[in-house]
Structure 1
Amino acid sequence: MDIASFQTLLAFMYLTLPWRTNGAGGKHSTQSGCRLFYGVADCRHLKLSTVPQDLPADIEELLLDFNQIRTLYKSYLIRYQSLTTLSLNSNELKYVEPEAFSNSRLEVLSLHNNTINRMYELLSKALSLTPFLKKLDMSRNALTMDMVSVLLRNLTTLENLILDNNIIMRLDQTIFEGLLRLKEISLQRNFIYEIESGTFDRLVQLRKLNLAFNLLPCIMDYRLVQIQMLNLSFNCIEWFQSQESDAEFHLEILDISNNLLLFFPLLPRRNHLQSLLLSSNKIRFYGDIFGTNSSIADSLIVKNVTTNITNFDLWNEEILGDFSTLRYLDLSHNQFTYFPPGFFTSMTMLSYLKLSWNCLWTFSILPGEMDSSLEELDLSNNQLSELQVTQGYLDLIYFNLSSNNLHILPRYIFQSMNKIHTLDLSQNPFNLCEYETTSEVGTEDDKCVDIRHVPSLKRLYLSDCRMEFDAHRVFYGNKLTHLDLSYNHVKGIQFLVDIATTLQTLCLRSCLKFNATFDFSAFVSLIWLDISENALTTFPASLSGLSLHYLDLRKNSLISLPFYNSHDVGNLKTVYISCNPFDCCELSWFNLISRSSSIPDLDKVTCNFSSRYFPVQKLSESVLYSCQWRTGETWLYLLLTLPVCLTFLVALLLLFLTFKNNILQNLKRGCSRSTGY
């Protein structure tokens, strides 16, 4: 009885719970098709033309995105007085009744991708009756600055404003007037080419400002001390200069990437910068071109009929400002040929430095030049022929030197890196030091790069270094899990004996002999293998015993694959097999792997039949029929040849019977001989 009473009590509690906890996990649907879940009504993608009225009156969040609502009347929302979030994205909304939001407690309103620009004055009146509104999204509505000024009038509680993808061309001091609580503004993907001085000055709580993808030509008097994150990427900025003052700027993240900067930006003297993104500009230092002779330029700033002229030295290589808090610096895709002495000295907290895709010939990492806190350094795609590093000073986790012209590196540079995890030395013309050379003291070649005895190293990339790998143990003392040797010359894989049991990923693209035999049985941990572009004629049989998940066989000379049952396929999840001359009449293996594995290049897989290539997915009936005869059982051949043989025998028999008498007489004459007495 106790158990029955307890079950009855549970059933009663379940039936009497409020709507928001009804159903499995609080979920159920309405007649209009909306999905309900804990105070949220999800009515997206239902082709609704009005706001549904069959929802619980106490919903707090209503999602109406991707419907066909073009008008919003007061009667639509009067039922939902607890509503705090309303999303009407992508509805072609153009008419909003002035009192549409008067009975709600809206805090978040999203009107992205509509046509509110057509009757924006009415929407402005409706917004004025939202005393609790904190976040407003009016992106992609073809709004101009004048429209925005009207729409934002008296929205004193607003904290987050999104105006992306509109047609705003300039900003003046009136556009954000009275919005003193604004913390975030996003204006990306407009056509802003001018910002009037003082536009953001009175927004003392503003922390994030996004002006990416606009047409700003320069920032000549940056004075926003309150901003923490500023995004100016993808503009046309040629010059960035902050206000010359001792004021403390709270700027932490500054993004001026993908602009036209010619000089390193003149940043505030006192700041809290942690991330500085300057990639894809035209920045460089000009001292090597113009010498030490100074060239003074004047900047003219006009404000309130007052002219301010600032002088600065164009070729001065001294970097002003406090960089002691900087952790991430991206200078990639610029035109640096060198860095002046002491450039990185003040960056005592720098952890991530990207200098790839520049024009550097040499680079120094010496005490006093760069702090030892650096963890990631990318020098790829330069013209480096020399790298100067003090032994034991640099302790990186990630080091990228690929695509340079390095023939030699400082001896034991990597052995002193106790935390190095990833090392990319691809596309550099150097040789690796061999284990055998250590058998005699003093016999080591000083012109080799030593990567032995680096136990922390897990990922090593040596693609296209023009090296030859044979039996020499160049990875002695390592525990690599990822290795890329593509586009080198590999005579055998005995040199991998020291890392065979730890390797999980191995790339041998375009470096094996087409007729060579390789034994991969020792690579017990291998799960990812790339042996594409090798013109292999035979599939390595030792691979069948491995637990491979990924296998790339593209651009070889394989006629068939030795997959006869599901055991042969093993754990393969992804296989690339295109650009091989597979035999159209030997595709039983293909059906096997296509059922158990993914073949991303399936539409490019072809097979050969009578010197013609056909897509494997759409083999014609004639090819399949011909293959049946060519690869059929013995009875098919007998069935084909037996009628021919019988016909030939009958023809011989008829011929014999027809000319029997003549044949016998000729034989008789030929056999008769005269007898002498």
Structure 2
Amino acid sequence: MDRLSQVCGVVKIRRMTRIHVVLLCFVFAQGRHHGGKGDARDVCAKVCSCRANRSVVDCRDNRLTIVPNHLPHNTRELNLDWNRIGALDSGVFTNVTSTLKQLSIRYNNIIFINDQAFSNLTHLRVISLEGNWLETLPNDVFAACASNLKELSLAYNYLDLRVLNASLSAFPKLHKLDLSGSNFAAGPHLPEYFVNSTHLKELILRDVNFGEISAAFFAPLSEANQLRKLDMHNATITSVHPSAFAVFKNLNTLNLSGSFLSLQSLQNILAGFFNNSLGSLSLQGLRLTNVSSFPSDLLTNLEFSGLKKLHLDGNHEIFAGAIPPSFFQALSSLNELHMEKCGLNNLSNGSFTGLISLKKMNLKHNLISCRYGFQCKGLFSETAFASLEQLDLSDNVISMETDDLCIDGEIFANLQYLSLSNNSIKQVPKGLFAGLTSLQYLDLSFNPISSIQPHCFRSLHALQRLDIVGCSSLRHLHNGTFIGLRSLSKLHLHDNALEEVDKGALLGMGHLLELSLRRNRLTGATFSQVVAESPHLHYLDLGENLLDRPPKGLLQGARNLSRLLLEHNHISYCLGMPILEHLRVLNLSFNALSSPACFEHSFSSQLVVNLANNPFHCGCDTQFALLFDQSHAIVEQRSAHLCGGSVKSYGGRSIFEGSVSEWDCRVRGIVVPVVSALVAGFLGVIFGGVMVSICRVSCSSPSHKGDGDGSDSSCECGDCGMGMDDIHRRQRRRRRPKKSKRKSALSIVSDECLIKENDDEEDDEVPEEESEREEPSDVDQYEDHDINKMIDVIVSESNIDDLDNSETDRLTPGCFPV
């Protein structure tokens, strides 16, 4: 407890609450072991993460209660944010005194800093102590590093900044100072330590209750000629002297967003920048007292300020739906105007008069409608927009229903970016974008568009990217829809409801590089040969559609395709897919493929293919792994390439698992013959002749001999070489009693088929002695009741009625279909 006694002797206990004392005691009682013993390797491996040859040490959010011991000796940057450190004692950074340049201990529980905590840290450039519980700082606590310190943050502590003169008096190279959330006690001006901040470039005073700002309030900063940015976001100001801000001769950026002040105070602040270099002004979400709207002359005093950027976002109550006449008249130098969420719904002629230099305008999240009865012509016919390059009108209620509405190409001759996303546009009429010859990006996403008239984009010769995404009513693209887009490189049409794309719908885009049609309703029949004139296409996304096969016709003109995405479709086969020599990524996962037959050709060794989660049909002769090896493709997610089907011995096994000889193929000798014969017998009963039906099922082209009455007919079962006479002979043999173990009719057929005996010249009657000398086959080892049990199991687990014609045609009695 000797350290605790020392701390408590230094800290002014009378200024601390009981909880501070308890916390401090807890820190020293619980935090000793967190420093740990060992070396830098232990710190990097167990406590922190290190990179750049252990020069950057990141210990964020590790519940540390003290600074770790044995930091790497070459540590340049140390981050201890979001821990539980309660104090910084003397010598805590001894191991890194000669190398440490950047130190961040934000949002901890620090209530005490020893006056020697930063001693010998002469190379320190950046210190951040934001979000702690500091009420005071020792004198000269930053003395050792003051000469080189460039950035200091003491934001959101409990500091009284008027008693810190000794601590903050000498920072000759300080560029950035953050004192947000601090307590400025009542006084005529800022603390005296600002007098020496001659190199200060950025001063952050967010969330400060300034009260009254007198004429001399910023006087200590009169010598700070390099100050460029003053951030007073969310400040509380009761009054401002008209000349209070005149001291800032070279100020470039002023942020008063969210501030609570009167209209008169705001006008006095802006008056101080008359004939000034102010370039950026942020007045977002102001909380003006006793004011219902902005006066039209609010910005008059900024006429000669050279203002380039103006942020007025979030002032929906003050603008009351409209912009006051001549409100921007004095801002002839303005380049950027941001009026997002201002509640605008009426844009009359003259609303933007004076903005002759405007290049970027943001009007997102307003109520602009352009419907009948609402004035919108001021937006699209304002002569002030001759220099406009970017216009964002997304998240409004524009419907384009007026007959005379047109985006004048002469006025918007320099427009390069236009966003109309998330509006109420139902159709895109021809001529809407006429004359926008400089437009490079157009966004029509998330509109209820149901119709896009042909040739509506014909004049957009410079357009490079077109987004029509998330239009749930768009089902059909007609011929000539995108005619004229000769410079287009990216076309995004995903997340629509497209069911039909005419052959000529996507023609005329000779430089198209990227096409996305993901999450539509396209099928193979409705989507073919649509990019025949896009030889440079290298990215095609058709994932999550209804395709049943790769679009062969579509790919004929895409020889340079490098990335093809077809996942989450219904593709059951991929035969005939052309070899794309430049293809590098092919995704066919989550389809209905039973075999990777499309890899019968050799692909590039750089191709990465994904066929995971397909119901591959596996058997004893499955050689998918060999097929992939021959194609030279790199298989992604190999563990997800599993056998499907109903054969339990294979289902769920990887198609790359082991070799052919390692498969459990006993099922071929027993179960499959039984299943084949059982199916044949079942179908035979239905058609009135068991063995005749077997041939009808198993023979692809049965031949009949005789006079046509069937008595001498002979059906050759091609796969087994077994005719009707052979089958009758086996039946008679089955009926003749014998001493050896008997075989069932199914076993006889299966066994004889499997060994492929040719008994064409064998007599109908076989001597009993010869029969008794027959060597038992594998099938003979099973009793009839065993076979019956297997049949019962098969019948219970199978549904013969589900067999389609293609499957029954391939069945041969007792033969395993290969």
Q: TM-score, normalised to structure 1's length?
A: 0.65
Structure 2 stretches of 5 or more lacking a match? 1-51, 58-68, 673-776, 787-818
1:459 to 479, 490, 495: 490
1:257 is aligned to 313
1:371 is aligned to 412
Given residue 284 of structure 1, which amino acid in structure 2 is its aligned partner? Answer: N
1:285 aligns with 2:378: no
Contact 2:499–2:521 (8 Å) recurs in 1: yes
CA offset digits 1:583-632 (Å, max 9, x no partner): 8999977xx99x96766xx99999867699xxx9xx8x9x99x9999993
Of residues 93-102 and 627-636 in structure 1, the stretch that sits farther from structure 2 once superposed is: 627-636
Distance 1:382 1:509, change over 3 A: same
Distance 1:43 1:466, change over 3 A: closer
Contact 2:125–2:150 (8 Å) recurs in 1: yes
Contact 1:365–1:394 (8 Å) recurs in 2: no
- How far residue 375 of structure 1 moved from its aligned partner, in angstroms, is 1.2
> Does the residue aligned with 2:397 lie in a helix, a strand or coil?
coil
Q: Distance between the aligned counterparts of 1:268 and 1:471, measured in 2? A: 50
Distance 1:465 1:320, change over 3 A: same
Contact 1:33–1:43 (8 Å) recurs in 2: no
Q: CA RMSD in A?
A: 5.3
Q: Distance between the aligned counterparts of 2:220 and 2:419, measured in 1? A: 46
How many correspondences in the alignment?
Answer: 558
Given residue 351 of structure 2, which amino acid in structure 1 is its aligned partner? Answer: I
1:646 is aligned to 781
Q: Distance between the aligned counterparts of 2:615 and 2:563, measured in 1? A: 23
1:632 to 663, 668, 674: 663
- How far residue 540 of structure 1 moved from its aligned partner, in angstroms, is 6.2
Q: Distance between the aligned counterparts of 2:594 and 2:246, measured in 1? A: 72
Q: Distance between the aligned counterparts of 1:649 and 1:431, measured in 2? A: 63
2:539 is aligned to 505
Query: Percent of aligned positions with the same letter in both sequences?
Result: 17
2:441 is aligned to 398
- How far residue 209 of structure 1 moved from its aligned partner, in angstroms, is 2.6
2:330 to 267, 270, 281: 270
Q: Distance between the aligned counterparts of 1:565 and 1:211, measured in 2? A: 68
Q: Distance between the aligned counterparts of 1:562 and 1:551, measured in 2? A: 14
Q: Distance between the aligned counterparts of 1:331 and 1:413, measured in 2? A: 25
Q: Distance between the aligned counterparts of 1:179 and 1:333, measured in 2? A: 39
2:385 to 336, 342, 347: 347
Aligned runs of 1:343-492 on 2, under 5 Å? 343=379, 344-362=382-400, 363-366=405-408, 370-384=411-425, 385=427, 388-389=431-432, 391-392=434-435, 394-404=437-447, 412=455, 414-426=457-469, 427=471, 429=474, 434=479, 449-463=480-494, 464=496, 466=498, 468-469=500-501, 471-472=503-504, 474-476=506-508, 478-486=510-518, 487=520, 489-490=522-523, 491=525
CA offset digits 1:523-580 (Å, max 9, x no partner): 22222333344322334662774544445546644456569899769545685957x6
Distance 1:280 1:268, change over 3 A: closer
Distance 1:422 1:121, change over 3 A: same
Distance 1:543 1:160, change over 3 A: farther
Structure 1 stretches of 5 or more lacking a match? 1-24, 287-315, 435-448, 652-677
2:229 is aligned to 184
1:325 aligns with 2:357: yes
Distance 1:200 1:538, change over 3 A: farther
> Does the residue aligned with 2:151 lie in a helix, a strand or coil?
strand
Q: Distance between the aligned counterparts of 2:623 and 2:165, measured in 1? A: 69
- How far residue 336 of structure 1 moved from its aligned partner, in angstroms, is 0.2
Q: Distance between the aligned counterparts of 1:466 and 1:244, measured in 2? A: 52
Q: Distance between the aligned counterparts of 1:148 and 1:135, measured in 2? A: 23
Distance 1:340 1:639, change over 3 A: closer
Contact 2:160–2:182 (8 Å) recurs in 1: no
Q: Distance between the aligned counterparts of 2:418 and 2:315, measured in 1? A: 23
Contact 1:35–1:43 (8 Å) recurs in 2: no
Higher helix share: 2
CA offset digits 1:452-489 (Å, max 9, x no partner): 35321222234436462354475046231122334254
> Does the residue aligned with 1:126 lie in a helix, a strand or coil?
coil
> Does the residue aligned with 1:365 lie in a helix, a strand or coil?
coil
Distance 1:500 1:203, change over 3 A: closer
Q: Distance between the aligned counterparts of 1:186 and 1:570, measured in 2? A: 57
> Does the residue aligned with 1:276 lie in a helix, a strand or coil?
strand
1:136 aligns with 2:177: yes
1:665 is aligned to none
> Does the residue aligned with 2:221 lie in a helix, a strand or coil?
coil
Distance 1:392 1:335, change over 3 A: closer
2:366 is aligned to 334
Of residues 373-382 and 630-639 in structure 1, the stretch that sits farther from structure 2 once superposed is: 630-639
CA offset digits 1:17-61 (Å, max 9, x no partner): xxxxxxxx9998999535649xxx43445998545345576x7x7
Distance 1:457 1:588, change over 3 A: same
Contact 1:102–1:130 (8 Å) recurs in 2: no
Contact 1:212–1:231 (8 Å) recurs in 2: yes
Distance 1:565 1:456, change over 3 A: same
1:518 aligns with 2:576: no
Given residue 781 of structure 2, which amino acid in structure 1 is its aligned partner? Answer: L
Q: Distance between the aligned counterparts of 1:276 and 1:544, measured in 2? A: 52
Q: Distance between the aligned counterparts of 1:358 and 1:375, measured in 2? A: 20
Q: Distance between the aligned counterparts of 2:184 and 2:323, measured in 1? A: 29
Q: Distance between the aligned counterparts of 2:352 and 2:508, measured in 1? A: 47
> Does the residue aligned with 1:483 lie in a helix, a strand or coil?
strand
Distance 1:399 1:470, change over 3 A: closer
Q: Distance between the aligned counterparts of 1:603 and 1:650, measured in 2? A: 40
Distance 1:609 1:493, change over 3 A: closer
1:437 is aligned to none
1:527 is aligned to 562
Distance 1:451 1:372, change over 3 A: same
> Does the residue aligned with 1:96 lie in a helix, a strand or coil?
coil
- How far residue 394 of structure 1 moved from its aligned partner, in angstroms, is 3.6
- How far residue 63 of structure 1 moved from its aligned partner, in angstroms, is 1.6
Contact 1:559–1:582 (8 Å) recurs in 2: yes
- How far residue 278 of structure 1 moved from its aligned partner, in angstroms, is 1.9
Contact 1:65–1:91 (8 Å) recurs in 2: no
Given residue 177 of structure 2, which amino acid in structure 1 is its aligned partner? Answer: L
1:162 aligns with 2:162: no
1:248 is aligned to 304
- How far residue 327 of structure 1 moved from its aligned partner, in angstroms, is 0.6
2:279 is aligned to 228
Q: TM-score, normalised to structure 2's length?
A: 0.56
Contact 2:175–2:202 (8 Å) recurs in 1: yes
- How far residue 348 of structure 1 moved from its aligned partner, in angstroms, is 2.0
1:300 is aligned to none
Higher strand share: 1
Given residue 512 of structure 2, which amino acid in structure 1 is its aligned partner? Answer: L
Given residue 492 of structure 2, which amino acid in structure 1 is its aligned partner? Answer: Y
Contact 2:534–2:558 (8 Å) recurs in 1: yes
Q: Distance between the aligned counterparts of 1:217 and 1:610, measured in 2? A: 78
Q: Distance between the aligned counterparts of 2:205 and 2:636, measured in 1? A: 43
Contact 2:452–2:477 (8 Å) recurs in 1: no
1:111 aligns with 2:153: yes
